[in-house]
Structure 1
Amino acid sequence: MNRESLNPERATPMTCAQLLIRLLRDAYGVETVFGIPGVHTIELYRELAGGEASGLRHVTPRHEQGAGFMADGYARATGKPGVCFIITGPGMTNIATAMAQALADSVPMLVISSVNRRDTLGRGQGRLHELPSQQQLLAGVSRFSHTLLDPDGLPEALARAFAVFEGARPGPVHIEIPIDLFDAPVTPPRRVARPALAKATPDPGALAEAAAWLEDASRPLVLLGGGCVDAPEAARSLVESLDAPAVTTINAKGLLGRDHPLDLGANASLPAVRELAHDADVVLAIGTELGETDYDVVFDDGFVLGGRLIRIDVDAQQLARNQAADLALVADAGSALEALAARLAGPRRARGGAERARAVREALGLERDPAFAPYAPLFETLREALPEAILVGDSCATTYAANHLVAQPAPRRFFNASTGYGTLGYGLPAALGASLARPDLPVVALVGDGGVMFTLPELACAVEERLPVVILLWHNQGYEEIRRFMDDAGVTRLGVDIQAPDFPAVAGGFGCPAARVADPGELAEALAARPADGPLLIEVDAAAWAEAVAHA
């Protein structure tokens, strides 16, 4: 891919749809798009179907929400934006939930949609798929939403989108194209400027001050967020130079590698880690919004820092939210990690970091905790069978446990919808997106019997695309987490004990093999027999599993 320019073979006019496809493929290196065609996007699909677009893979989900979640999983697994082609009106309201999840977790996603003809916009004439203002609706779940009114403005609109993905806090970008523009003629520019954006680096004076604070610290602590995932070597070098325990967010799992002695995982909400955070004399928080679902999942405002706080984030506004910083630096997290690691390299001052981290892990005792113990054999079995797997979670019991229990060998191998927006239905389609992005790695979807019903038809897409995803379905007879909250609040259960289908029979109807398991041995056997060229659904009977583990 040429970052600097696009040099068409000819300067003769092409349609706006042709230019869009060519720019995405040749100027921005897009290989896969997720979308469902409709009457408003016929001319766009004319270009996707052949000719100039022959190198662009189109994946058809069964719902636009699934398209958004697939694009999200694709982006998280690779760091490249997931791209969706979506129909006017209901297609956009369907994908809005997926865009909101991506916005909350800073996931790059490009949503290209149709919209009604330019001469009808905002007139309320009852046109097919008409919204009062589709652009205003989507602006609330995107970094920006743009209506293309002139086909010659397409290169600039795409350049703005990719500037957000590559140089700012990423998230979804929406570009809507009126249906009368898809086949409108446009002369392709001989040169398409695509700036090679240099990452924002920290102010040298502030960086020196931060390094001095950290060098002088006796009990430093490092908080690593999802903004750091592309700098694992620098993250390891920094925490090792500081001899400092590190807490990762869920989206930063694997940043230090598996079983690093300084890694405390995503356990900031648990008492032993909170005590460590309160006792630290200097805390470095980098690439993390210090948000509730990473640091206060018990919702008691109990994550309190007792020492000086250094915050580094690419988004200046974020530095003013959640926790007040004593020193705040606006910079790309990866660039800042590399700069700090370089400053702090050299002879290491022993601060007892590994010993402090070991004491915290022993105090946590996660595998002995009744809340997590039933799940430990499940993740041990997965790790033995598929040690390199990407784990993609819905909001479900196994995902909540994995957030605390699972360690991964590298970043971008663990993500889910339990943070930020916290939607249901994410796990299955996002796992399909991850599998499309990383066919070299096994992918496991952690889903529950309640949440999977939101997007279960995406099994058809998994079969159609022959994606070897393991769908590990934890069947606990409804919405277990909400049942527990109702019970704790003294609220009579309502709407949580829901009817479930025969999941293996449903999977079979889609052409997906399935197995039912009740203990770790049966799970190991099912994983060993998984197909190489298609999905496998494994239903775990939660009650039988708990009984088997308790008596093992």
Structure 2
Amino acid sequence: MAITLGEYLIKLLERFDVEHVFGIPGVHTAELYRGLTNSPIRHVTPRHEQGASFAADGYARMSGKPGVCLLITGPGLTNAMTGIGQAYADSIPMLILSGVNATRELGHGRGRLHELPNQNALMSQITAFSHTLTHADDILPVLERAFAVFEGGRPRPVHIEIPLDLMGADASHLALPEQRSTPMRAPCIHPDQGSTFAEMCQAAQRPIILAGGGARGAAEELTRLAEALNAPVVTTTNARGLLGDEHPLALNASPSLYAVRALVEQADLTIAVGTELGQTDYDVYGSGPFQAGGKLVRIDIDPQQLKRNARAELEILSDARAALADVVARVPETGKANPLAEQVPGVRAAAAQGLSPLYARVARCLGTVWNTIPDAVFVGDSTQPVYAGNDLLPIPATGRWFNSATGFGTLGYALPAAIGAKAAAAERPVIAVAGDGGFQFTLTEMAMAAEADLPVSVIVWDNACYLEISNYMKEINVPPVAVDLVSPDFAAIATAYGWNVARVRSEQELIEAIALTQNSGTSTLILGMEFLDEDTGNQDG
């Protein structure tokens, strides 16, 4: 029986345990959709390809599996690049499958539909690699290379483009593997380095741990090391929740805050696990270069990252879980005295006192939601309520708080990424948090949630302004220009998409509005959050 390469590729994706794909069909991807007709893979359709890449990102963060996009040549791909860029910056696995013009047309510039001069070169800047398929027989090896990146290296997006003449070509001669190849194992710590690392840990009197997104899969091992060393743990946004929200060693505060930076500088050993030590995590407020206290040990799966931002006395190329498990086995389990651990409550208090009244109220309100709806997941945009959470919000577990306010720092992320997260975890309440400006970037994805029956709650912080930018302009003596917004009737739009609408005036009403989504199975738009700011006269957005 004849089978096209497009159909064969979909069957391969099934072998690789792909369950959801996000995209908008077009004439340059129709052959892929032929393969989806009888496939168990679920297709979710956004209203813009940027929504597809954001949703795939949210799905990947929630499921731990790569988010998959099917994109047309040219504009479909360029529309999705913002979301792909965010995933690249945050080390999120994403598989982008796109069309490209027929093999004989590549590079000629003849004005073919959706033609770009060099689509592959464009995508290579925001992916681990971009590959142009030139032979049907190469599709399995290239797909295996992509999953090798997702499983055995720094998990970033991979792009595979398939010329139109190949996508519909006969692939009957290609056999489907009975099962996929053995998953790739990430690099592990060398025994000699393990011994050195353990010696440094045991010699330290004031150790501290910095954990980034690369440590997300090592919560148990990191906790055990922290307890053995009695070492405080500072987490970036992408690692928040690693120790839970009640562990006495968990600072649950941004390493950009002055009180946290001051604590780190007192350390005689700083252990940095899976973190770039980058500006958007460690110097958001322009306080100057981040200084790690004492000797620095870095653990990272990316050899290049070990050489960026800070020089370390010991550089360990390893999966975080493997490296931490190795050192935990070598270090006595009984925690020793560490004066930094004694300072954790005081540092938390000092960090809280440094927050603006609005930020403090927002963090308290979101914390109340978690206390009442303990399995909730928050997905945030670049907006001040999210910045407040990034600064000082105790997160109960990993994967429960993620947003686009670090790294690439895009707008429009929250709603589609929340829908992707809901596709991965249907049983959890998923709550998007966005300002009125960022929400309008991808507002039409309300249709995606309704059509795919993926109900989410969306909190919109509406002040008719890009207020963060306005405030920054004032700080540098630039008269605010082009920051005031005309907001539409959000409630009317939500109703038109079949959503519930809730206007809240208190934390209790907020909780009830979120519960409405779960009880009714219908998405809910939540407005009226200015109650958090009513006594300052300064709304946020």
Interval of TM-score (by shorter of Structure 1 and Structure 2): over 0.9
Q: Please report the TM-score for the alignment, with normalisation by the length of structure 1.
A: 0.94
1:435-454 mapped onto 2 (5 Å cutoff): 435-454=422-441
SS of the residue corresponding to residue 146 of structure 1 reads: strand
SS of the residue corresponding to residue 158 of structure 2 reads: strand
SS of the residue corresponding to residue 443 of structure 2 reads: coil
Using the TM superposition, give the Cα deviation of residue 305 of structure 1 relative to its aligned residue in structure 2, in angstroms: 2.0
The partner residue of 1:231 within 202, 215, 218 is 218
The partner residue of 2:20 within 20, 28, 32 is 32
The partner residue of 1:159 within 144, 149, 164 is 144
- In 1, distance between residues paired with 2:257 and 2:163? 51
1:8 matched residue in structure 2: none
The partner residue of 1:148 within 133, 142, 145 is 133
1:470-485 mapped onto 2 (5 Å cutoff): 470-485=457-472
Identity %: 48
1:159-190 per-position Cα deviation (integer Å, ceiling 9, x unaligned)? 00000000000111000001111221122236
- The 1:73–1:208 alpha-carbon spacing in structure 2 relative to 1, beyond 3 Å, is same
- The 1:116–1:344 alpha-carbon spacing in structure 2 relative to 1, beyond 3 Å, is same
1:93-144 per-position Cα deviation (integer Å, ceiling 9, x unaligned)? 0011111100000000000000111111111000000000111111111110
Q: Is the 8 A contact 1:217 1:281 kept in 2?
A: yes
- For the aligned residues, what is the CA RMSD? 1.7
Say if 2:389 is the partner of 1:402: yes
- In 2, distance between residues paired with 1:365 and 1:125? 60
Using the TM superposition, give the Cα deviation of residue 86 of structure 1 relative to its aligned residue in structure 2, in angstroms: 0.3
Say if 2:267 is the partner of 1:297: no
The partner residue of 1:214 within 197, 201, 204 is 201
- In 2, distance between residues paired with 1:119 and 1:302? 51
Q: Is the 8 A contact 1:391 1:446 kept in 2?
A: yes
- In 1, distance between residues paired with 2:500 and 2:204? 56
Say if 2:2 is the partner of 1:16: no
1:207-264 per-position Cα deviation (integer Å, ceiling 9, x unaligned)? 2111111111111010011111112111111101110001001010111122211011
Say if 2:60 is the partner of 1:75: yes
The partner residue of 1:419 within 406, 416, 440 is 406
SS of the residue corresponding to residue 357 of structure 2 reads: coil
- In 2, distance between residues paired with 1:469 and 1:239? 36
Which deviates the most, 526-535 or 422-431?
526-535
Q: Is the 8 A contact 2:194 2:327 kept in 1?
A: yes
SS of the residue corresponding to residue 270 of structure 2 reads: strand
Using the TM superposition, give the Cα deviation of residue 195 of structure 1 relative to its aligned residue in structure 2, in angstroms: 3.1
1:537 matched residue in structure 2: 525
1:284-309 per-position Cα deviation (integer Å, ceiling 9, x unaligned)? 00100111111111123242123110
Which deviates the most, 228-237 or 516-525?
516-525
The partner residue of 2:451 within 436, 441, 464 is 464
1:311-348 per-position Cα deviation (integer Å, ceiling 9, x unaligned)? 01011110111111111111111211221222224333
Q: What is the identity, as a one-letter code, of the residue corresponding to 1:30?
A: V
- In 2, distance between residues paired with 1:193 and 1:58? 22
1:130 matched residue in structure 2: 115
- In 2, distance between residues paired with 1:353 and 1:503? 48
Q: Is the 8 A contact 1:266 1:294 kept in 2?
A: no
2:263 matched residue in structure 1: 276
- In 2, distance between residues paired with 1:193 and 1:433? 25
SS of the residue corresponding to residue 131 of structure 1 reads: coil
- In 1, distance between residues paired with 2:279 and 2:294? 20
Q: What is the identity, as a one-letter code, of the residue corresponding to 2:120?
A: Q
1:200-349 mapped onto 2 (5 Å cutoff): 200-349=187-336
Say if 2:136 is the partner of 1:188: no
- In 1, distance between residues paired with 2:119 and 2:445? 26
SS of the residue corresponding to residue 304 of structure 1 reads: coil
Using the TM superposition, give the Cα deviation of residue 455 of structure 1 relative to its aligned residue in structure 2, in angstroms: 0.3
Q: How many residues align?
A: 534
- In 2, distance between residues paired with 1:334 and 1:13? 45
- The 1:278–1:536 alpha-carbon spacing in structure 2 relative to 1, beyond 3 Å, is same
Q: Is the 8 A contact 1:367 1:376 kept in 2?
A: no
SS of the residue corresponding to residue 304 of structure 2 reads: helix
1:44 matched residue in structure 2: 32
Mark the runs of 5 or more structure 1 residues left unpaired by the alignment.
Answer: 1-11
SS of the residue corresponding to residue 29 of structure 2 reads: helix
- In 1, distance between residues paired with 2:79 and 2:327? 43
